[in-house]
Amino acid sequence: LNILSGSRKQIFITFAPWVLVTIFEQPTQIIATLMMVGGIIGIVFQPLLGWAIDRFGERAVLAAEAVILIPVCFGYGFSRSLFAENIAFVIVCACFLLDQMLMSVGMARSTYMKKIALQPDDVQPALTMAVSIDHVFSITSALVGGLIWSAFGFQYVFLMGAVIAVVNLMAALQVSIPVRPAGQIA
């Protein structure tokens, strides 16, 4: 899950702003404004996300993230060729905000790790390793994405993101919480 998360995260961090600045020719202030709006939305969204994890479980939340990311990636990559410029810009801005909100789903991966850990002392080292793995694949995705953008166009970077989201969905659907005997906690 962290491999896919790192790969997808870098597509958002690197290439979504690049689409706004280079493809839609927007000033960088637009990105700052979207990040501020996303931060304000996050104040409300993150507690709701925590509630959803508690209510529906990590599997459902991780799967929902992947399902939402598929149209977000297509919005980034193909809205300009499917809609008028002003409508495509609004779609890309909405995709940016949705994508920023979905970065918080990392908390579901953390709570899942806590639930599957055999010992409480296993959680911190495992989360640390997960962040390291995330970073390795994040940097690799940026490099591969840049090569794809240069060779084929920005649309294909986001097509790659949609493929990652589909694989992420398949991985999320495999998430299960082991049943522990009564009284045993991780």
Phi, psi at residue 27, to the nearest 5°? -70, 155
- Count structural domains, the chain: 1
Residue 130 lies in a domain: yes
Residue 93 lies in a domain: yes
For the question of whether the overall pTM of this predicted structure is more than 0.75, the answer is yes
- pLDDT at residue 36, as a whole number: 97
Residue 180 lies in a domain: no
Residue 138 lies in a domain: yes
- pLDDT at residue 169, as a whole number: 94
Residue numbers of the domain that contains 154: 2-172
Residue 182 lies in a domain: no
Residue 26 lies in a domain: yes
Tell me the CATH number at 33. 1.20.1250.20
Residue 87 lies in a domain: yes
Residue 186 lies in a domain: no
Give the pLDDT confidence of 59-114 residue by residue, as tens digits. Answer: 999 999 999 999 999 999 999 999 999 999 999 999 999 999 998 998 898 888 88
